[in-house]
Structures are given as structure tokens and as C-alpha cells.
Amino acid sequence: MGFPDSTHVATLDDRTFTLLRRLISERLGICYEDGKRAMLVERLAPLMAERGIESFLDYYYLLKYNKDSQEEWHRVEEVLTVGETYFWREKEAIMAAANHLIPSWQQAHPSEMIHIWSAGCATGEEPYSLAIALLEAGAYRNGPIEILGTDTNRKALQEAREALYRGRSFRALPHPLRERYFQPEDNGWRLRDEVRSRVHFAYLNLMDESAMSRMRGFHLIFCRNVFIYFSRDNVRRVALAFHHSLRSDGYLCLGVAESLLTLDVPFELVEIAGAFFYHKRCL
């Protein structure tokens, strides 16, 4: 489908770019710096074309003020969120959780449900990797464990629930684990119910203060390779929300390229079995 008037749609002036990226940062946390203007144009222009909107300023007004804009925001979330993920990504933290953190909790509280949250889970490879690692470690025999995966991309969440994966998702997963936990199909590999049943998925926007306030009682939160797209202020805001979501002895795991060390947040960086976690400090 072509643009109604490509000369207008393709133009994103300085003022409108500032308004749009500020709004996107407030709603989704994602920060579009000066050098990413063309990327924003490329991703939003097709959505505008489908609605017959020729001006980025008009599209801003739609997102900002239209009372029925929520559905449009879901479309924006799908095109702006980054879904790059794969099984066994940065596996050291996964193995440390499965072989050290969770067994220690189970030993201390044998009958207690362990709650794990994968925030920004995209198509589900991270929470499913955790479930596979826990199965391999025998952790499910020692007590109940609940894994929740959340994301703002509803299409990605549906793919996670369907659990049908192709080649790139397996580039770090050991071949024996793929053979053990996946069933080959004509167009990919389907995760077996033994693993799928261990993970639940839900829509959640990390910038939604009301929704985040209801996330409580987690032993462990994985939020990896999400903060690299956030502004410093938004990282701090979400990190504080995670602090409230964790139990007093809980841990937060970020990606290897992410850090909270320069922010004023109540976490202590600790090393566990060769992986780094942020341990909650009580206020």
C-alpha cells in the first residue's frame, strides 16, 4: 500500500520529532536519539499510511489525544519493540539461577512457590530457556515454580504461546537439548508441552505505573537487553518498580551490556556462579 502523499509522510521536522520521541519515551520507555530519526520514520510511516494520515504531527495528535488511541498504541508497540532473542542467550545467568539461586530458595523454604518474571520476553525464548534449565537441574521435583513472561508486543506474545521456532532461535542451544525438548514439524520445531506448561505469558508495559504496582512477590526478575533502549531516567524508574516487585531476598538480572551502578537505586551487584545479579537492598 502506498503513502497517500509520500512527500508529506516522509518529512519529520525537528519539532515534531521532539514531540513524538518524548511521547514514545513516556509511554514505552524507548529512547529515540537524534541519529535514529530515519528509523522512527521508517517504522511509523506504514502505520500512518494505513490510516490515511499524511503528517507526523497529525499522527502525534492521534496518539496523544484521541480517546480511542489505545489500539493504535498496540500497533506502535509491535513495530517499535525489538524482538531479537534466542535460546540460551547469555546462558551463564540462566545456569546460575537454575543451579544455585533457585535451589537455595527451595532448600530454605521447601513448600513455597518460587516466582520468576521474564520482563520483555519477546517471543518467549528466555523464559522457556529458564524452564528447560530448571528441568535439567531437577528443580521442579523440589517444589513449585511459576515463570511469567511479559512484553508489550502482543504479536510476539502470541508467537511465544504457540512455541514454534526456527533456526536462528537455536543458534546457542546445545543440540541434545533441542532434540529432548522440541518436536520437529514441517516449518520448524515445536516446544514440547512439558516445557510450555511451565511458562505463562501476559501483556505488560513496564512504563505503566498502575500495572507495575500490581507485580509483587517475585524471587527473581530477568529483564535483559531491554534497558539498552531506555533513557537513563526510564531505567531508574523501572528499576525502582522492580525493587518493589521483588521479595526482600530477591534478585534482578540484566543483560551483560546493561548496568545500574551509576544510578541511585537500592541494589547491590553480586556475582553468583560466574554471572552477575542485582540483589535487592531493603530501604
Region 51-76: mean pLDDT is 93
**Res. 255: pLDDT tops 50:** yes
Last residue of a domain, one of 41, 56, 80: 80
**Within-domain flag for 86:** no
CA distance 125 to 81: 16
CATH of the domain at 203: 3.40.50.150
Region 125-139: mean pLDDT is 98
- Which of 28, 17, 150 minimizes the C-alpha distance to 80? 28
Instruction: Tell me the pLDDT band of 39, cut-offs 50, 70 and 90.
Output: very high
Are residues 98 and 207 both part of a single domain? yes
Q: Which residues pair with 272 in a beta bridge?
A: 275
- CB 64, CB 23: distance < 8 Å: yes
Q: SS3 letters for the chain?
A: CCCCCHHHHCCCCHHHHHHHHHHHHHHHCECCCHHHHHHHHHHHHHHHHHHCCCCHHHHHHHHHHCCCCHHHHHHHHHHHCCCCCCCCCCHHHHHHHHHHHHHHHHHHCCCCCEEEEEECCCCCHHHHHHHHHHHHHCHHHHCCEEEEEEECCHHHHHHHHHCEECHHHHCCCCHHHHHHHEEEECCEEEECHHHHCCEEEEECCCCCHHHHHCCCCEEEEECCCCHHHECHHHHHHHHHHHHHHEEEEEEEECCCCCCCCCCCCCEEEEEECCEEEEEECCC
**Average pLDDT over the chain, rounded to an integer:** 94
Are residues 223 and 264 both part of a single domain? yes
- CB 200, CB 146: distance < 8 Å: yes
Are residues 55 and 150 both part of a single domain? no
Last residue of a domain, one of 80, 103, 125: 80
CATH of the domain at 33: 1.10.155.10
- CB 80, CB 122: distance < 8 Å: no
- pLDDT tens-digit series, residues 48-58: 999 999 999 99
Are residues 155 and 227 both part of a single domain? yes
CA distance 195 to 132: 7
User: What is the per-residue pLDDT for 5?
Assistant: 44
Question: What residues contact 100, with CB distance under 8 A and at least 6 apart?
Answer: 272, 273
Are residues 17 and 72 both part of a single domain? yes
Q: Which domain holds residue 203?
A: 91-280
Instruction: Tell me the pLDDT band of 86, cut-offs 50, 70 and 90.
Output: very high
User: What is the per-residue pLDDT for 283?
Assistant: 64
- pLDDT tens-digit series, residues 180-225: 999 999 899 999 999 999 999 999 999 999 999 999 999 999 999 9
Are residues 180 and 69 both part of a single domain? no
Q: How far are the Cα atoms of 17, 168, 207, 240 from residue 25, in angstroms, in the given order?
A: 12, 30, 9, 17
**Res. 69: pLDDT tops 60:** yes
Are residues 196 and 275 both part of a single domain? yes
**Within-domain flag for 209:** yes
- pLDDT tens-digit series, residues 89-125: 999 999 999 999 999 999 998 889 999 999 999 999 9
